[in-house]
Amino acid sequence: MNWTEWTEFLVLSLYFCGAALHIAAVLARKPMIQRVGQILTITGFSLHTLDILFFLTETDPQVLGQGPFYFSLLAWTLIIVYLVFSWRLQMHFLGLTATPLALILFSFATTLNSVEVILPESLLSLWFGLHIGTLFLSICLLAMATSSGAVYLYLENKIKAKSKITGLSKDLPSLALFDKVNAWAVNIGFPLFTVGLLSGFLWAHFTRECIFSWNPKELVAIVTWLLFALLFHQRLVNGWRGRKPAKLAIWIFCLSLISMLSINFFLETPHGFQP
Which of 41-45, 188-192, 203-207 shows the lowest mean pLDDT across its residues?
203-207
Does residue 60 have a pLDDT over 80? Answer: no
Tell me the pTM. Answer: 0.83
- The DSSP secondary structure of the chain, one letter per residue, reads --HHHHHHHHHHHHHHHHHHHHHHHHHHT-HHHHHHHHHHHHHHHHHHHHHHHHHHT-S-GGGGGBHHHHHHHHHHHHHHHHHHHHHHH--GGGHHHHHHHHHHHHHHHHHGGGS--B--GGG-STTHHHHHHHHHHHHHHHHHHHHHHHHHHHHHHHHHTT----GGGGGS--HHHHHHHHHHHHHHHHHHHHHHHHHHHHHHHHHHS-S----HHHHHHHHHHHHHHHHHHHHHTS---THHHHHHHHHHHHHHHIIIIIIHHHS--TTS-B-
Q: What is the pLDDT of residue 188?
A: 94
pLDDT confidence of 49, banded at 50, 70, 90? very high
Which structural domains are found in the chain, ordered by start? 1-118 (1.20.120), 121-275 (no CATH)
**pLDDT greater at residue 16 or residue 132:** 16
